[in-house]
Amino acid sequence: MGRKLLYLFLLLFFSAQSQIEQGPLFSEAIQRNIKKYTKNSQRAYVEQDFERAEFLFDSLINNVVNGSYLDNFKVRKLSGKKIDLNKFDKPIFLMTYASWCTPGVGEIPALNEVAEKYYQNIDFVILFWDSKENVRKATRGYSSKINIIYVDEKENKHDRIVEIMKHSLGFPTSFFIDDSKRIVDVRRGVLHPYNEKYEISFELNYNSFLNGISLLKNLGVEEKAHFASKQNP
């Protein structure tokens, strides 16, 4: 009996030590700061001070989010099967999305090309906050090298992590996460004007994705400096 108690104590002790060494979870870090950020950010947008709004977002990411660890929670594959988000064991490019977000004309082709090149070393994951039916319709253009998962919030009404993950930073938002689940950087999606040319949209998105994953993989100098120019297929 005494040995069992000692074993349990040591297990709890080392688990606590591991979490201390690991750093805060994303949900914990963001929850301590999100109210102040949201208030100041909304004021900046009302005043049309977009430079201030961008500064606030960058400050939140650099001083609060980066270095925190991605929470694990249940998600669904398109088959409907539930899996843990921690199932992905490579460095992760994670983009959060919703079916009512309209991607730029070159966004999906650009991401497909990057994923085709680097899927063996990086898990490319698109997380939709939506129903299965809407997700199926919205993801027909993605490469098979990209993992499509979704969370239907109607199934997770009381899940604090899901609520924080969905509502804190908006979407589309890209998370760049190393293989220990530490968040290296977070970036908003590329803004695109209506009727933007395919070549411009592709180039902007391609280089944005490539720049982000270069934080996760030591890409060559030539690849980092590459500026793609593609013809609309």
pLDDT tens sequence across 120-129:
999 999 999 8
Same domain, residue pair 64 and 157: no
CATH code for position 141: 3.40.30.10
pLDDT at site 5? 47
Q: Which of 40 and 3 is assigned the larger pLDDT?
A: 40
Please indicate, yes or no, if residue 158 is contained in any of the structural domains. Answer: yes
Q: Does residue 7 carry a pLDDT above 60?
A: no
Alpha helices by DSSP H, listed for the chain, are 2-22, 26-31, 34-46, 50-60, 107-118, 132-138, 160-167, 198-213, 221-225
Which of 35-44, 50-59, 141-150, 167-176 bottoms out in mean pLDDT, i.e. has the lowest?
167-176
For 126, the 3-state DSSP assignment is: strand
Please indicate, yes or no, if residue 122 is contained in any of the structural domains. Answer: yes
pLDDT at site 223? 43
The tally of domains found in the chain comes to 2
| Torsion angle (degrees, nearest 10) of CA 169, 68, 214, 55 | 40
For 66, the 3-state DSSP assignment is: coil
pTM recorded for the entire structure:
0.81
Q: Does residue 188 carry a pLDDT above 90?
A: no
Q: How confident is the model over 38-73, as pLDDT tens digits?
A: 899 999 999 999 899 999 999 999 999 999 999 998
Confidence tier at 14 by pLDDT (50, 70, 90) = very low
Same domain, residue pair 56 and 110: no
Q: Does residue 210 carry a pLDDT above 50?
A: yes
Q: In what order do the strands lie in the sheet with 74-77?
A: 82-84, 74-77, 146-151, 123-129, 92-97, 173-177, 183-188
Same domain, residue pair 64 and 144: no
d(CA 202, CA 156): 35
| Domain assignment of residue 220, given as a range | 76-233
For 15, the 3-state DSSP assignment is: helix
Same domain, residue pair 164 and 225: yes
pLDDT at site 1? 53
Identify the domain boundary among 45, 69, 93: 69
Strand-pair category, 123-129 with 146-151: parallel
pLDDT at site 98? 86
Identify the domain boundary among 7, 37, 69: 69
Identify the domain boundary among 35, 52, 69: 69
The CA radius of gyration of the chain, in Å to the nearest whole number, is 19
Lookup: tokens for 224 = 């980092």
Same domain, residue pair 46 and 80: no
Please indicate, yes or no, if residue 13 is contained in any of the structural domains. Answer: no
